[in-house]
């Protein structure tokens, strides 16, 4: 993987945005590896503009801090919400799990093989079941039980650890606990959940039972950012698998796991590659 | 296509159902072309049994009426809900449309090429737009306008025509009108609708707008039997297609049409081939 | 649909391409509706750059001819292969069919509903079977029989008609005849075929029989540009559908038709929207 | 999971097969949980009949050995190739891997969570890379290097271990070595491979490079039984995933891994549940 910087930005749409940004990059010798643009203009009225530009780090005459400094006036002029990330700085992913291990095995397989080029500073769980597996990989494991009584303290501890390890993103890999609103608010578009249904169908608990009762012919999973509204956050990725009348609820759960882990891994990767931009209650995903 | 009889049945599950039915067929020399069985037993408790057995008509020593007569006592003994159909008797499909023609073109293409080996005694529409196309195919076209005032009369006329042409199944090929409860009740599991969303998401009108607003990453369509509960009938078939942030509502409508017509055609074919058995608010589909 | 101009271009990759093009557009007040870029650089070595930029026609101070004139020096400087199209000029699609009508019904349904906003100046066929259906739509139909003896004359006639009606693109909608090399050469990336297999599997005739014999679990279709090498042209779009052991060759043919027409329609639309750029024996498709 | 016996059989098609088998089961009080039948008759001529019948073990008055003994005369009369398995006897799966761990992680996650209810008596590899991971799970690991010189000895050792641990099925989970013909012949329909392409496209090595060069729009994976003809064995399961021009060979490899592990797991499960019957160079898979 080549060393690169990635600029992601959104701003009010107008004439000349690409020209302004691309000219700035070209003036400094920046070699563009990949660039994507999206205007959400609907019905002819001007809307908001979204972009992602990835450039070779070595093609620029200066370093990241100076790139940010020089770009700031342009961003201000265009009223941009923006950020530049450095491929050499590996993101820090804190994984939260419960007792089911299928998403965790999947994520650690990708991490182990360097397909997922991130740091996993720790795994947090409300159960102790997966400690051995996590620790065998050399990753610290924190057991923080959650009960009706200690919810506030438990999530304060989760947040304390996340801060302590300088977490960039929190991944709920079938964590099965509802994140309190203040924690959601503390990390907007930084908490990623995998919900075991094709949202907006079957929100809440026991979606496979709901799917079975309704007699749907496909089931799915949804990777989304967590907000205070349960299962209502911006969707990053979804997929489905075909089932039929011969499948029991247990079969649905089993098929569902394959979709859950794949959709979580794809959604997380889009996030880590800075391909996801929030767009109100939706997302722009530059694949 | 070989001349065949198809027995479909459901009954309380017990030991010996297949043995009883298959022995009866074998005793009379019946050659089984295809047979499918399903028990909905869940959690170990005995449930209901579903079956579909297709046999060569010529392998039996007698005709359909005698087959029915001889099978009746067995069916009674097993407390069966059952029916036998004859592949030589083409089913009569009455198609209801509104102004959009994509499902109609698709159905008539299949009918024209004999892929769909049925009679279409007439097409009924609340608009006159598709008359020429239908009549060119030699199929009678009835224009029955529906307004707030005349709903009861209009659907009485629909029912009168359906009876007059001896319709077996009514297909709502994007008909866009809500069928009154009494008409639903008159033809249980004989009215098939295509809903332009992946149910149970986005019931009611404007599902593509709802899907766009929610930011889902796949859209779908659902073929189901019509019941008095809008968009709640037993689902026969569903499918989805991937979309992304760059797609407008118009794009969703366009992609959706391809899914709608394909899912309707598949669901209708399952029905016509006697592959669909109602199972409470769900279906068993023997593919 | 807004009136727009679409620039598609490819050129050797270097620093500053987007800046040069986007600045040119911005200088003249051009409002960019959609823009896509791709670099095929592999293994770190500079490759070829591909782009598609769609702008509001009314945002520019001048008309298309002047846009082309003013852009020409930039294109020359960047060593571009390029073209600008005008959304107000409907492309002229000549459809070639044989006896099977499923793709033709599908295309004419899209044309009739204006989903496919093109001119169809005529349909050409080696059989007379679909004449009535085509003529009912008000489209001229040419019956040009093809036999072992008259192949050269027949295709000379096809070419004469294509020229006479000023065809932009020739669509082989299950035409079932091999296009002679000189005709292929006359219209590079302007002849689109739908092949009834998931290429490169099962080239040549009877792909469904080959698929059945091999026992594959999915079958597909491939929309590609026609070149002198049979079934080897650049692939525009593909899709598949699941089958199983219970499906006969006839079932495969039937399932296949649904994939064929959908894949052809999608591929053709990408082409008509100037989303497809040739890339050696491959394509770049800006969706 | 209920204790059950599963009969799988194939025989020449004739009248009365189901009646004979189902009556035998019913006479002994056998409760049928699931039953599937397939006739491969094509073009009207009688062919071969395939069946799978799963019954509650406790509903029968006798044990498995007596079931086999009593069924044998019927099987002989019907000229059956047949077998009965016992759900209480867990199959013994020997996994062969090379250096890549994605399929192994996936299989062990399923084994750990009891989704895959099997014994894994050992893992064999031509590299030592995955030893720690395997041994952490309490599974013996055998490192048997394979080189040009020692191929015969190496595979003799593989076979010796497979025999020693009483392996039922050998799973090549991206083992990357060609199995010698004599080993293939020793275990017909007992060696399962995952090939990293949608066969029959891209046989042999480097299929992702071939797919990239050809410019296909979907890539896939194939789970099949191993025979002496490389990549020609009966296909059990396949699936595909969409790619586009922006994907490099590395991206294809990455997407491919997700398909490989899912398709291998599905195919293996079908095999372990006795859902796969060989049918010449094809398979019948009763899902």
Q: Does A99 touch chain D (CB under 8 A)?
A: no
Q: Tell whether C236 and C114 lie within a shared domain.
A: yes
A198 to B217: CB separation less than 8 angstroms, yes or no: no
Average pLDDT, chain B: 96
Measure CB to CB from residue C19 to each of A26, A39, A242 and give the nearest one.
A26
Residues with Cβ within 8 Å of residue A6, at least 6 apart in sequence:
A52, A53, A54, A55, A84, A85, A87, A273, A274
Mean pLDDT in residue range D147-162: 96
Would you call B148 exposed, middle or buried from its count of C-beta atoms within 10 A (0-12, 13-18, 19+)? Answer: exposed
* Residues of C with catalytic function: 231
Helix, strand or coil, per DSSP, at residue C178: coil
Q: Please report the ipTM that was assigned to this predicted complex.
A: 0.95
Would you say residue C41 has pLDDT above 90?
Answer: no
Would you call C114 exposed, middle or buried from its count of C-beta atoms within 10 A (0-12, 13-18, 19+)? Answer: exposed
Measure CB to CB from residue B101 to each of C109, C136, C254 and give the nearest one.
C109
Listed range (C32-46, C154-168, D123-137, D257-271) with the worst mean pLDDT = C32-46
- Where do the H-state alpha helices sit in B78-136? 102-112, 131-136
B–D CB contacts, 8 A cutoff, strictly below:
64
A–D CB contacts, 8 A cutoff, strictly below:
44
A218 to B237: CB separation less than 8 angstroms, yes or no: no
Residues in A closer than 8 angstroms to B236, CB to CB, are 217
Q: How far is C77 from chain D (nearest CA, A)?
A: 26
Q: Does D245 touch chain A (CB under 8 A)?
A: no
Mean pLDDT in residue range B277-281: 91
Q: Which of B106, B231, B273, B274 is catalytic?
A: B231
Tell me which chains share at least 3 CB pairs under 8 Å with chain A: B, C, D
Would you say residue B46 has pLDDT above 80?
Answer: no
Q: Does C237 touch chain D (CB under 8 A)?
A: yes
Residues in C closer than 8 angstroms to B105, CB to CB, are 105-106, 108-109, 112
Compute the radius of gyration of chain B from its Cα atoms: 21
pLDDT tens for each residue of B118-164: 999 999 999 999 999 999 999 999 999 999 899 999 999 999 999 99
Would you say residue A50 has pLDDT above 90?
Answer: yes
| Between A46 and D82, residue with greater pLDDT | D82
D240 to C249: CB separation less than 8 angstroms, yes or no: no
**What is the per-residue pLDDT for C28?**
96
Chosen domain end from D64, D86, D108: D86
Listed range (B42-46, D85-89, D264-268, D277-281) with the worst mean pLDDT = B42-46
For chain D, the domain total comes to: 2
Would you say residue D46 has pLDDT above 70?
Answer: no
Chosen domain end from C66, C86, C106: C86
Would you say residue D209 has pLDDT above 60?
Answer: yes
Q: Tell whether D98 and D60 lie within a shared domain.
A: no
**What is the per-residue pLDDT for D275?**
98
Number of Cβ atoms within 10 Å of the Cβ of D110 = 23
Tell me which chains share at least 3 CB pairs under 8 Å with chain B: A, C, D
Q: How far is C89 from chain B (nearest CA, A)?
A: 21
Nearest CA in chain C to B261: C258
Question: pTM of the predicted model, to two decimals?
Answer: 0.97
- Where do the H-state alpha helices sit in A28-130? 64-77, 102-112
CA pair distance B123, B101, nearest whole angstrom? 12
Residues in D closer than 8 angstroms to A54, CB to CB, are none
Q: How far is B203 from chain A (nearest CA, A)?
A: 11
**Nearest one of A35, A37, A61, A62 to A49, comparing CA atoms:** A37
Confidence of residue D218 (pLDDT cuts 50, 70, 90): very high
Q: Does B105 touch chain C (CB under 8 A)?
A: yes
Three-point CA angle C63, C187, C189, nearest 5°: 75
**What is the per-residue pLDDT for A197?**
96
Mutation for B interface: D7, D19, D241, most B CBs within 10 A = D19
Measure CB to CB from residue C215 to each of D215, D234, D248 and give the nearest one.
D234
**Nearest one of A268, A274, A285 to A84, comparing CA atoms:** A274
Q: Does D33 touch chain B (CB under 8 A)?
A: yes
Average pLDDT, chain A: 96
Residue C28's CATH number: 3.30.70.260
Measure CB to CB from residue B109 to each of C105, C113, C132 and give the nearest one.
C105
pLDDT tens for each residue of C231-284: 899 999 999 999 999 999 999 999 999 999 999 999 999 999 999 999 889 999
Q: Tell whether B72 and B106 lie within a shared domain.
A: no
Confidence of residue B280 (pLDDT cuts 50, 70, 90): confident
Q: Do B67 and B54 touch, CB atoms closer than 8 A? A: no
**What is the per-residue pLDDT for D110?**
98
Nearest CA in chain B to D48: B33
A39 to C34: CB separation less than 8 angstroms, yes or no: yes
Q: Does D52 touch chain C (CB under 8 A)?
A: no
Backbone phi, then psi, for D100, in 5-degree steps? -75, 130
Q: Does A24 touch chain D (CB under 8 A)?
A: no
Nearest CA in chain B to A231: B214
Q: Tell whether B81 and B98 lie within a shared domain.
A: no
Number of H helices, E strands in chain B: 8, 13
Q: Does C42 touch chain D (CB under 8 A)?
A: yes
Task: Identify the H or E element spanning D20.
Answer: helix D17-27
Residue C194's CATH number: 3.40.50.170
Measure CB to CB from residue D37 to each of B29, B35, B41 and give the nearest one.
B35
Tell me which chains share at least 3 CB pairs under 8 Å with chain D: A, B, C
Average pLDDT, chain C: 95
Q: Tell whether C58 and C184 lie within a shared domain.
A: no
- Map tokens 């040069």 to a residue: C20
Q: Tell whether D25 and D159 lie within a shared domain.
A: no
Q: How is residue D217 written in tokens?
A: 């729009």
Q: Tell whether C164 and C216 lie within a shared domain.
A: yes
Mean pLDDT in residue range A1-23: 95
Residues with Cβ within 8 Å of residue B88, at least 6 apart in sequence:
B3, B57
Q: How far is A226 from chain B (nearest CA, A)?
A: 15
Q: Do C34 and C56 touch, CB atoms closer than 8 A? A: no
A–B CB contacts, 8 A cutoff, strictly below:
85
Q: Tell whether C99 and C192 lie within a shared domain.
A: yes
Q: How far is D72 from chain C (nearest CA, A)?
A: 27
A22 to C22: CB separation less than 8 angstroms, yes or no: yes
- Map tokens 């069966």 to a residue: B80
Confidence of residue B279 (pLDDT cuts 50, 70, 90): confident
* Residues of D with catalytic function: 231
Mutation for A interface: C12, C19, C287, most A CBs within 10 A = C19
| Contact residues, A window 124-143, toward D, CB-based 8 Å cutoff | 132-133, 136
Q: Tell whether C201 and C104 lie within a shared domain.
A: yes
Would you say residue B45 has pLDDT above 60?
Answer: no
Nearest CA in chain A to B285: A245
Evaluated on CA atoms C134, C140, C146, C152, the torsion sign reads negative
pLDDT tens for each residue of A174-214: 999 999 999 999 999 999 999 999 999 999 889 999 999 99
- Provide the strand spans (E) within B58-121: 81-86, 93-97
A80: containing domain:
4-86
Mean pLDDT in residue range D15-35: 96
Q: Tell whether D79 and D106 lie within a shared domain.
A: no
Would you say residue B215 has pLDDT above 60?
Answer: yes
pLDDT tens for each residue of C55-96: 999 999 899 999 999 999 999 999 999 999 999 999 999 999
Residues in B closer than 8 angstroms to D16, CB to CB, are 22, 26
Q: Tell whether D111 and D240 lie within a shared domain.
A: yes
Beta bridge partners of B94: B170
Would you say residue B43 has pLDDT above 60?
Answer: no
Helix, strand, coil percentages for chain C (3-state, nearest 5): 35, 30, 40
Q: How far is C152 from chain B (nearest CA, A)?
A: 31
**What is the per-residue pLDDT for B19?**
97
Helix, strand or coil, per DSSP, at residue B166: coil
Would you say residue C46 has pLDDT above 90?
Answer: no
- Provide the strand spans (E) within chain C: 4-12, 32-39, 48-56, 81-86, 93-97, 123-125, 141-143, 169-172, 191-195, 218-225, 235-242, 276-279, 282-285
Mutation for C interface: B34, B136, B243, B258, most C CBs within 10 A = B258
Residues with Cβ within 8 Å of residue B146, at least 6 apart in sequence:
B126, B154, B155, B177
pLDDT tens for each residue of C181-211: 999 999 999 999 999 999 999 998 899 999 9
Chosen domain end from D86, D109, D130: D86
Q: Tell whether B76 and B120 lie within a shared domain.
A: no
- The DSSP result for A8-39, as a single string, is EEEEE--TTHHHHHHHHHHHTTPPEEEEEEEE
pLDDT tens for each residue of A69-114: 999 999 999 999 999 999 999 999 999 999 999 999 999 999 999 9
Would you say residue D255 has pLDDT above 60?
Answer: yes
Residues in A closer than 8 angstroms to B214, CB to CB, are 199-200, 235, 281-282
């Amino acid at each position: 993987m080549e060393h690169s910087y990635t600029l992601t930005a959104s701003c009010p749409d107008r004439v000349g945005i690409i020209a302004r940004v691309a000219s700035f990059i070209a003036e400094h010798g920046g070699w563009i590896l990949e660039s994507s643009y999206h205007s959400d203009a609907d019905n002819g009225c001007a809307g908001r503009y979204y972009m992602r530009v990835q450039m070779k780090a070595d093609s620029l005459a200066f370093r990241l801090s100076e790139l940010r400094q020089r770009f700031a006036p342009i961003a201000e002029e265009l009223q941009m919400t923006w950020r530049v990330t450095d491929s050499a700085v590996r993101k820090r992913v804190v994984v939260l799990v419960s007792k089911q291990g299928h998403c965790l095995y999947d994520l650690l397989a990708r991490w182990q093989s360097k397909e997922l080029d991130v740091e996993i500073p720790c795994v947090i769980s409300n159960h102790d079941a997966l400690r051995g597996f996590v620790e065998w990989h050399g990753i610290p494991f924190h057991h923080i039980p959650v009960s009706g009584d200690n919810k506030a303290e438990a999530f304060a501890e989760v947040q304390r650890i996340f801060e302590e390890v300088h977490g960039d993103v929190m991944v709920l890999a079938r964590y099965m606990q509802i994140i309190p609103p203040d924690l959601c608010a503390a990390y907007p578009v930084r908490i990623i959940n995998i919900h075991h249904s094709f949202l907006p169908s079957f929100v809440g608990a026991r979606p496979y039972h709901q799917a079975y009762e309704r007699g749907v012919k496909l089931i799915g999973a949804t990777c989304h950012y967590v907000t205070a509204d349960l299962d209502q956050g911006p969707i990053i990725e979804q997929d489905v698998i075909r089932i039929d009348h011969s499948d029991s609820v247990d079969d649905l759960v089993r098929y569902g796991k394959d979709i859950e882990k794949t959709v979580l891994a794809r959604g997380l990767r889009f996030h880590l590659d800075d391909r996801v931009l929030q767009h109100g209650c939706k997302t722009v995903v530059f694949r």
